[in-house]
């Protein structure tokens, strides 16, 4: 089994980079645009004990994992965890070596139970507004990462937990997964992107039903409606997600970033504008060393060695 080693390099630069931002109440910054393998895992320092940033090494170098670890609250997102999530994704955003990110949980039978309602009960209306804005902008940061993101869902992904998964590019769940947006039962609505991202995945009518009723669905139903990419036997979501991450990690990293941009931005445009965007993204790949390496590897019948150049 691999040895966990502490990464000596400080990530304080990420904190300095954000220190000039305006702040919300409770020091929330405004938005700017376990599974252990035989390989070494490198642990990054974290602002929160409930969020761990891990970087796989050796042949899996380029894969990073954000691990949720707040078992006493079923990974409910309180202020401390939210700051930890923001810090982790800002670190990934500024790391040019990261090629694909996974979000997983170390808590059995739960991905994320949503917002911490015990903390919420003690907040004023103004504090709730600031918290939800910060949560929404953090999930938007996940969505706007240039690299692919994969949510690894075992057990419950409810409310803000499902909204976090919706902000990822891909979702892999176990058969034991339980997904839902129960906010209307609390006389509120999904406020961290759920009302917008869910219908874009499953269609307007299905999204309305799930949000209006607050109904919870199992993994197989999530797969049939297109909410997740794969539903695998319970306990096997992480190996499946790692398999996909490895496939992505082998591809040209600049090409992956351009493909994500072309798809995400193109879907928000008319077809003519989207095709212009595709051309722009393609042109950015023509003078890269990776493109030449891909052609050379094909001619020499070997696996390409891409460096992101």
Where is average pLDDT lowest: 14-28, 173-187, 200-214? 14-28
pLDDT digits (tens, 9 = 90+) for 31-62: 333 434 434 455 555 667 899 999 998 889 99
Q: Based on the number of CB atoms within 10 Å of its own CB, is 247 exposed (0-12), middle (13-18) or buried (19 or more)?
A: exposed
pLDDT digits (tens, 9 = 90+) for 224-270: 999 999 999 999 999 999 999 999 999 999 999 999 999 999 999 99
Paired tokens of 52: 């761990």
For the question of residue 163 being annotated catalytic, the response is: yes
Residue 59 confidence (pLDDT): 87
Given the residues 160, 161, 193, 219, the one annotated as active site: 160
- Per the listing, tokens 């930890």 go with 84
Strand order in the sheet with 110-112: 110-112, 156-158, 178-180, 217-218
pLDDT digits (tens, 9 = 90+) for 63-77: 999 999 999 999 999
Residue 46 confidence (pLDDT): 60
pLDDT category at 163 given cuts 50, 70, 90 is: very high
Answer whether residue 26 shows pLDDT above 60: no
Answer whether residue 21 shows pLDDT above 80: no
Answer whether residue 81 shows pLDDT above 90: yes
Whole-structure pTM value: 0.84
Residue 47 confidence (pLDDT): 66
Given the residues 114, 119, 163, 180, the one annotated as active site: 163
Given the residues 183, 192, 194, 245, the one annotated as active site: 183
Residue 8 confidence (pLDDT): 33
Distances in Å between the alpha carbon of 257 and those of 2, 45, 120, 159, 168? 30, 26, 37, 29, 14
pLDDT digits (tens, 9 = 90+) for 85-135: 999 999 999 999 999 999 999 999 999 999 999 999 899 999 999 999 999
For the question of residue 234 being annotated catalytic, the response is: no
Question: Quick one: average pLDDT of 10-19?
Answer: 36
Strand bridging mode 230-232 / 170-174: parallel
Sign of CA dihedral 18, 145, 174, 190: positive
Residue 278 confidence (pLDDT): 96
Residue 29 confidence (pLDDT): 43
For the question of residue 183 being annotated catalytic, the response is: yes
Task: Quote the mean pLDDT of the chain.
Answer: 87
Given the residues 115, 165, 241, 262, the one annotated as active site: 115
């Amino acid at each position: 089994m691999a040895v966990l080693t502490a990464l000596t390099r400080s990530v304080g630069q990420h904190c300095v980079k954000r220190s000039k931002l305006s702040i919300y109440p409770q020091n929330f910054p405004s938005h700017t645009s376990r599974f252990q393998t035989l390989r070494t895992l490198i642990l990054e320092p974290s602002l929160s004990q409930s969020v761990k940033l891990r970087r796989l090494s050796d042949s899996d170098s380029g894969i990073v994992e954000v691990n949720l670890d707040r078992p006493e609250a079923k990974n409910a997102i309180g202020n401390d965890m939210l700051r930890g999530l923001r810090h982790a994704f800002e670190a990934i955003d500024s790391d040019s070596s990261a090629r694909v990110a996974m979000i997983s949980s170390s808590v059995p039978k739960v991905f994320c139970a949503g917002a911490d309602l015990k903390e919420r009960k003690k907040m004023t209306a103004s504090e709730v507004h600031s918290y939800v804005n910060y949560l929404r902008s953090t999930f938007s940061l996940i969505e706007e990462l240039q690299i692919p993101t994969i949510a690894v869902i075992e057990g419950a992904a409810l409310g803000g937990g499902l909204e976090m998964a919706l902000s990822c590019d891909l979702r892999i769940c176990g058969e034991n997964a339980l997904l839902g947006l129960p906010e209307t039962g609390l006389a509120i609505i999904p406020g961290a992107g759920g009302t917008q991202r869910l219908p874009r995945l499953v269609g307007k009518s299905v999204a309305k039903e799930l949000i209006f009723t607050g109904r919870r669905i199992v993994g197989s139903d999530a797969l049939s409606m297109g909410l997740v990419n794969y539903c695998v036997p319970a306990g096997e979501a992480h190996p499946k997600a790692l398999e996909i991450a490895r496939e992505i990690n082998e591809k040209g990293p600049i090409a992956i970033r351009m493909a994500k941009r072309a798809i995400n931005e193109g879907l928000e445009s008319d077809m003519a504008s989207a095709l212009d965007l595709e051309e722009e993204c393609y042109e950015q790949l023509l003078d890269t060393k990776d493109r030449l390496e891909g052609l050379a590897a094909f001619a020499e019948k070997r696996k390409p060695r891409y460096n992101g150049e």
